Chain A
Amino acid sequence: MALAVVVVLLVVGSVIFHFTQLYGGPWYFTDIAADWGTIDLTINITFWVTGFVFVVVNLFMAWCVYKYRQKDGHKAVYEPENHKLEVGLTAFTTIGVIAMLAPGLFVWAQFVTVPEEAIEYEVLGQQWQWQFRYPGADGQLGFADVSHVSESNPFGINPEDPAGQDDVVVNDPNMHLAVNQPVHALLRSNDVLHNYTVPQFRVKMDLVPGLVSYLWFDPTKEGTYDILCEELCGIGHFIMRGSVKVESQAEFDAWISSQPTFAETQSMAAPNIAAGQTAYAICATCHGAQGEGNSALNGPKLAGQDAWYLERQLKYFKEGVRGGEGDTIGSAMVPMAMTLADDNAIRNVAAYIETFTDTPAPTTIAGDIENGADIYDRNCAACHLDDGAGTWYTDAPALAGMSDWYFVRQISNFGAGIRGLHPNDNFGEQMVAMATAMDSVEEINDVAAYINTLR
């Protein structure tokens, strides 16, 4: 009896819950931003067919449980089979299945057929970043292969291929698209499986190393949407994020012309180390003449740090991405970075710092090395490598031999959300998430103490 009532309540409750979500509840599909309304329609058809079965079968079952519960003098009916009923139910189910499958296959045929007017672009996934490439004026993407991948050519574009020279490369995880222009996304991975998902576009597909997969859609609504990775790709899977901005054709054209072509990235003039040396004079006060660092003046060691990382951080300070609210010590860097007039000046300084002899910074932090090693190996080594050397590939700076007190301060800042959450900090949010692997100042010290052994 109670069971029958509960089944009825669950059916009614589920249906009510569904309709509250369908009409304004917070937990239903986000507003669609691509021309895939047909997918949503197929979902609705499936809801009506399966919903009908869910309600009818369960209510019938509840009624049976109530009506045919054991009673004195009551006996079950002996009826092994009922051919007519079974045939009828088979036919009914078959019709229901066809009603769902037919539109599904029809829409799938649209999905696998890329329209001719669709413009290609490439999505490159690697642990744990998105990058994008657009064909240049020739409308063609150059051949690319893992064997060509390097810090200056992260896409692995074949330098010999003329079609690749004018390709526009976007080395950060933010891409743009023109509204109402169908696009054909070619998906490629340098390492493991990833999955290119924008919930508002409704379609997704895996990126598979060794082959090129694809999907297509027609963005119909301007706005900025999150790109997520939805195929488990290792420890950083949940923080592999990007964004796509859908904007007018004019805005898109302006944006893409401001991005460098592959040829431009390959033919940049060598940095001027002498100019960098001049500019560094102001830095030496806090960071030391040889970039050895000075804890009393809050200047971390710079010698031995990768140039790409120094450049990025200097830009961040300059643009107010770092050193903002809450970061009282870091804010001192903002006016310093301002003294560097442009990107070239930043490159020059970073190149000069790379010439310093790298001697490990003094050890100032003590902690439980064993615990630090455990935390580091489990959570940090994936990006910063086992030896703490860091690598451009995962956007991870060197840690080994660098200032340990600075490490502790920065992890604390990430943990407190002081660093890494600026909307233009494309890489810092990953550290905000990973900093949770260290639960207390003691644990951060433990990791710092362990990193001190890696030199």
Chain B
Amino acid sequence: MAYVPLADRDHEMEMHHPHSWVEKYVWSQDHKVIAIQYGSIAVFTGIVGLALSLLFRMQLGFPDTATFIDPSFYYQAVTMHGMIMVVYLLTALFLGGFGNYLIPLMCGARDMVFPFMNMLSVWVFLVSVIILMASFFVGGGPTGGGWTLYPPQTNLAGTPGHDMGIVLMLISLGVFIVATTMGGLNYVVTVLQYRCRGLTMMRLPLSVWGIFVATILALFAFPALLVAAIMMLFDILAGTSFFMPAIIESGTPLDHNGGSPVLFQHLFWFFGHPEVYIVALPAFGLVSDVLSVHARKNIFGYRMMVWAIIAIGGLSFIVWAHHMYVSGMHPYFGFFFATTTLIIAVPTALKVYNWVLTLWEGDIRLNAPMYFAIGFIFTFIHGGITGLFLGNVVIDLPLSDTYFVVAHFHMVMGVSPVLVVFAAIYHWYPKMSGRMFHSGMAKLHFWCTFLGTYAIYLPMHYLGFLGVPRRYYALGTTDFIPQSAQDLNTTITIAALFVGASQLLFFINIIWSLRYGPKADPNPWGAASLEWHTPDTPPSHGNWGDSLPTVYRWAYDYSVPGAREDFIAQNTPETEEPTVDEQHFDPDQDKSLADA
């Protein structure tokens, strides 16, 4: 039987329309509801992570003032903050939240290909969060072994949470990976199989490309973490020695022999480095769309942007050991990994140039989402170039394990993606809620977040140059750290508290506007991509009413000469508006998967 694309079998497909409130909002199979569930759980977890960071910043900025922060709690807070932010907030929010909401809408599909599995994904994710949070309430508390969970330290008596805490952490990660896999297969299959007529791969918005490639990375990278977690659980619970050499615990030799702690690090970072891009690529995609829409200009160098996403995704699997230059692995690896790491800077830099060139000769509307998008370019340049220091193996010798590393990765995968999260939420909020947010409050939120985070992290790099080690409960006395370093730490903490508090502006704004915000125009920014052209706002279950849209052009027809408006919707036929640049975006010349 000949292959008929899913979009052409729309009349055969049955929507599982909900029959009750519970089916609609709790056990929902609607990708949009699932997206909001995913996002809400992730943000809730993120608030816990943020609160933890403010607590341990209190200890660093004002030592021994918050008396309940003892060394044990400090390490637990640092550990849980890291893991929550990287995995349970950012990964879940970008893939489960934005991926779920935007992929079907931007692909002109009615839903994900497997809606039931999609629903399972979010509830399994919730289970993983509950297991994670449970570790705060067990004897010994959550693990304090650092978010990298390096054995043998994490499961030895000298580390907080070495008994139940680490076990729960590993189980939670395992459950999370199950959830991500169920969601991830959905996103990939939906992008490949459920695009509407005319929507070739090279006509997809970059948001979809970013999330699509990030999901593929997740499907390949998370298994490495899963096996590492299972092997470590065996070491702890069954007495195996995968990661445990012959060692001594508190003066007593342990019954382990022959394992390798470095093996764990390889497995962890084989996941951990692609993980950086699992967070970054969706952010790259989303910010590209926000920039293009509000600059009223097509994204510059679309095809190069797509290939850069793919190249970065591929390269991200062969750079992992740059996290391990001083791990005691064979030092010759340094040559290879420094080279691959610096090569990855080339496609990444090109993306930055193209974002800036999108602004060039544009007609820039400085709406709230645009503030965040431009702020992102600044913080991402900063975080990117400090990566060139750490990636260049010899420079890592003095800087590894200092505050420079902390400052670098917070700029590049903390502040930058979070600015994109805010840009994206403000950008799509009118579509998701049908209401407008308060623009002034959103801009105030931008200024507090953007300037506040720079006040935190710029000086932190210099603590790293100075040589202040990370993961220190207290600096103690040294000859080379001047007293003024403590003053700098105090300043950083004040800035952190300010940034933390200013996030209230965001929550007040989006919750208040949900009810009291003015009704939004279906396409308030004048965007060309499909999700802004649904028959209903917010889109109803099934997204497209009676018939699926047909796409005639790419997602970036802004300010096309001769067009009636300064944008042309993707589903506007060639007969009504000028065609896109045929040489570049003619679907007949596009050899992408849709034509297979």
Whether the Cβ atoms of A81 and B300 lie closer than 8 Å is yes
For the complex, what is the distance from the CA of A398 to the CA of B321, rounded to whole Å? 43
Which A residues touch B156, using CB under 8 A? Answer: 127, 191-192, 234
Whether the Cβ atoms of A190 and B248 lie closer than 8 Å is yes
Whether the Cβ atoms of B397 and A50 lie closer than 8 Å is no
Whether the Cβ atoms of B366 and A3 lie closer than 8 Å is yes
Number of contacting residues on B, CB 8 A?
126
Report if A126-B248 is in contact (Cβ < 8 Å); known contacts: A204-B401, A228-B478. Answer: yes
Distance (Å) between the CB of A33 and the closest chain B CB?
Answer: 10
For the complex, what is the distance from the CA of A375 to the CA of B72, rounded to whole Å? 9
Whether the Cβ atoms of B153 and A210 lie closer than 8 Å is no
Within 8 Å by CB of B71, from A3, A233, A433, lies: A433
Whether the Cβ atoms of A79 and B476 lie closer than 8 Å is no
Which A residues touch B353, using CB under 8 A? Answer: 57, 89
Whether the Cβ atoms of B145 and A437 lie closer than 8 Å is no
For the complex, what is the distance from the CA of A111 to the CA of B67, rounded to whole Å? 44
Tell me if B134 is interfacial: C-beta within 8 Å of chain A: no
Which A residues touch B476, using CB under 8 A? Answer: 238-239, 241, 429, 433
For the complex, what is the distance from the CA of A94 to the CA of B259, rounded to whole Å? 41
For the complex, what is the distance from the CA of A226 to the CA of B468, rounded to whole Å? 12
Whether the Cβ atoms of A235 and B71 lie closer than 8 Å is yes
Whether the Cβ atoms of B150 and A193 lie closer than 8 Å is yes
Tell me if B512 is interfacial: C-beta within 8 Å of chain A: no
Whether the Cβ atoms of B332 and A209 lie closer than 8 Å is no
Report if A58-B328 is in contact (Cβ < 8 Å); known contacts: A76-B566, A93-B345, A108-B393. Answer: no
Closest to B262 in A: A208
Whether the Cβ atoms of B247 and A146 lie closer than 8 Å is yes
Whether the Cβ atoms of B401 and A238 lie closer than 8 Å is no
Within B346-401, the residues touching A (CB, 8 Å) are 346, 349-350, 352-354, 356-357, 359-366, 371, 374-375, 377-378, 381-382, 385-386, 388-389, 392-395, 397-398, 400-401
Tell me if B506 is interfacial: C-beta within 8 Å of chain A: no
Q: Interface code A371-401, partner B: CB below 8 Å = 1, 0 otherwise? A: 0000101110111011000011110000000
Whether the Cβ atoms of B302 and A80 lie closer than 8 Å is yes
Q: Interface code B312-346, partner A: CB below 8 Å = 1, 0 otherwise? A: 00000000000000111001101100110011011
Closest to A230 in B: B401
For the complex, what is the distance from the CA of A42 to the CA of B467, rounded to whole Å? 17
Tell me if B584 is interfacial: C-beta within 8 Å of chain A: yes
For the complex, what is the distance from the CA of A139 to the CA of B149, rounded to whole Å? 38
Tell me if A54 is interfacial: C-beta within 8 Å of chain B: yes
Tell me if A143 is interfacial: C-beta within 8 Å of chain B: no
Which A residues touch B473, using CB under 8 A? Answer: 237-238, 433
Interface size class of A (residues with CB under 8 A): 35 or more
Report if A111-B394 is in contact (Cβ < 8 Å); known contacts: A100-B342, A235-B144, A391-B250. Answer: yes
Within 8 Å by CB of B480, from A25, A205, A226, lies: A226
Q: Interface code A1-34, partner B: CB below 8 Å = 1, 0 otherwise? A: 1010011001000100100010001111110000
For the complex, what is the distance from the CA of A80 to the CA of B586, rounded to whole Å? 13
Whether the Cβ atoms of B159 and A235 lie closer than 8 Å is yes
Report if A60-B488 is in contact (Cβ < 8 Å); known contacts: A70-B365, A75-B566, A235-B158. Answer: no
Which B residues touch A38, using CB under 8 A? Answer: 394
Tell me if B261 is interfacial: C-beta within 8 Å of chain A: yes
Whether the Cβ atoms of B326 and A76 lie closer than 8 Å is no
Whether the Cβ atoms of B338 and A81 lie closer than 8 Å is no
Closest to B375 in A: A3
Which A residues touch B360, using CB under 8 A? Answer: 60, 64, 68
A-binding segment of B4-12, B270-278, B416-424, B455-463 = B455-463
B-binding segment of A195-203, A278-286, A322-330 = A195-203
For B300, B353, B354, the residue with the greatest tally of chain A CB atoms inside 10 Å of its CB is B353
Whether the Cβ atoms of B159 and A39 lie closer than 8 Å is no
Whether the Cβ atoms of B472 and A237 lie closer than 8 Å is yes
Within 8 Å by CB of A27, from B350, B395, B465, lies: B465
27 residue pairs A–B, Cβ–Cβ below 8 Å:
A3-B374, A14-B458, A28-B462, A29-B466, A39-B394, A46-B389, A46-B395, A54-B381, A60-B360, A61-B378, A76-B362, A80-B581, A81-B301, A104-B392, A112-B334, A146-B248, A147-B253, A197-B467, A207-B328, A210-B246, A234-B159, A235-B72, A238-B475, A378-B141, A381-B157, A382-B157, A382-B250
